[in-house]
């Protein structure tokens, strides 16, 4: 599994924001840094498949050896984490995870079991039936991570995912996310303006804008 950005260029009103060609090998992280408005989140949206139509974009995106540029978001298998956990507030924790769990796990029992395993793995045991609104910040972040990993993505897109967590939690979460990505051999595209994120990620660092 690898993530390949082939001459990707994104412009707004004729003004180029981002232009790059990169290969992110499995288990490694490409970190894109830049001030707000520099277009780093736009790059993420382009890779994820929900770029706002007001932008003009060119270049190909390959995920796991497949050109996904013309595929809709849901077929790209690019899992995304935002700075907010964005747990669906109208579903339980378990409901959120079942919603995320990849379709190839079939059967009620098998799917429940997969979710239970994930809950335990992410120290969420016993919380399956909870309203997401009642969870702590760290728990919410872990549910979001579990949800995206259960969907069996081929790449991980991180949009400043740690910026809203307090410092100790941020470190723990960062370690957890990168460890999971490495363990699953996922290429990761991280956009951030936090140098510490970039340091922890290792891998290539790309600065854009300004």
Partner 1 sequence: MTRLGPPLAVLLLGLPVLIGLLGTILPAFGILPALGGVTPSLAPLEQLLAMPGVWRSAALSFWIGLASGAGSLFVVMLFVAGWSGTHTFKRLQRTIAPLLSVPHAAAAFGFAFLIAPSGFLARLLSPELTGWTAPPNVLIPNDSWGLSMIAGLMLKEIPFLLLITLAALPQVEAQRGRAVVAALGFGRTAGFLLALWPAIYRQIRLGIFAVLAFSSSVVDVAAILGPTLPPTLAPRLLQWITDPDLTLRFAAAAGALLQLGVTLGVLLVWIGLEQGGAFLRDRVATSGRRFRHDRAVRIVAAAGLAASAGAVFLGLLTLAIWSIAGLWTFPDLLPQSLTLRGWESVLPRLSNPLLTTLIVAASATLLAVALAVLCLANEDRRGRPAGRAALWMIYLPLIIPQPAFLFGLQLAFVSVDLQATLAALVFVHLVFVLPYVFLSLSDPWRSLDRRYEQVARGLGRSRRRAFWTVRMPLLLRALLTAAAIGFAVSVGQYLPTVLIGAGRLTTVTTEAVALASGGNRRVIGVWTFVQMILPFVGFLVATLVPALVFRRFRAVRV
Kindly list the residues in this chain that would bind partner 1 in the complex (CB under 8 A): 45, 48-50, 52-54, 72-75, 77-80, 82, 84, 86, 88-92, 99-100, 102-103, 131-134, 147-148, 151, 153, 157
* Cβ 145 to partner 1 shortest distance, Å: 12
Measured from the CB atom, is 66 or 171 closer to partner 1?
66
Measured from the CB atom, is 5 or 87 closer to partner 1?
87
> Torsions phi, psi of 13, nearest 5?
50, 45
* Cβ 108 to partner 1 shortest distance, Å: 18
* Cβ 199 to partner 1 shortest distance, Å: 26
* Cβ 167 to partner 1 shortest distance, Å: 24
List Cα–Cα distances, 164 to 61, 132, 191, in angstroms: 29, 17, 14
User: Where does residue 1 rank: exposed (0-12), middle (13-18), buried (19+ CB within 10 A)?
Assistant: middle
**Cα atoms in the 13 Å half-sphere on the side-chain side of 184:** 19
115: nearest Cα among 81, 149, 155: 149
Measured from the CB atom, is 15 or 104 closer to partner 1?
104
Rounded CA gap, 3 and 189, in Å? 8
Q: Are strands 15-24 and 3-12 parallel, antiparallel or unpaired?
A: antiparallel
Measured from the CB atom, is 54 or 167 closer to partner 1?
54
């Amino acid at each position: 599994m690898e993530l390949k950005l082939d001459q990707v260029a994104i412009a707004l009103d004729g003004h180029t924001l981002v232009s790059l060609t990169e290969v992110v090998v499995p288990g490694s992280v490409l970190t894109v840094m830049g001030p707000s408005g520099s277009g780093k989140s736009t790059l993420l949206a382009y890779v994820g498949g929900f770029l706002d139509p007001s932008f003009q974009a060119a270049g190909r995106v390959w995920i796991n050896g497949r050109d996904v540029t013309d595929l809709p978001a849901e077929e790209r298998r690019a899992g995304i984490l935002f700075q907010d956990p964005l747990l669906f507030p109208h579903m339980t924790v378990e409901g959120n995870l079942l919603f995320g769990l990849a379709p190839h796990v079939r059967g009620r029992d098998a799917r429940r079991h997969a979710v239970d395993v994930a809950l335990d793995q992410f120290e969420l045991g016993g919380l399956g039936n909870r309203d997401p609104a009642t969870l702590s910040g760290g728990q919410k972040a872990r549910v979001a991570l579990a949800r995206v990993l259960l969907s069996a993505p081929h790449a991980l897109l991180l949009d400043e995912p740690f910026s809203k967590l307090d410092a100790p939690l941020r470190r723990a979460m960062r370690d957890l996310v990168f460890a999971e990505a490495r363990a699953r051999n996922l290429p990761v595209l991280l956009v951030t303006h936090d140098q510490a994120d970039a340091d922890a990620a290792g891998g290539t660092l790309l600065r854009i804008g300004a």
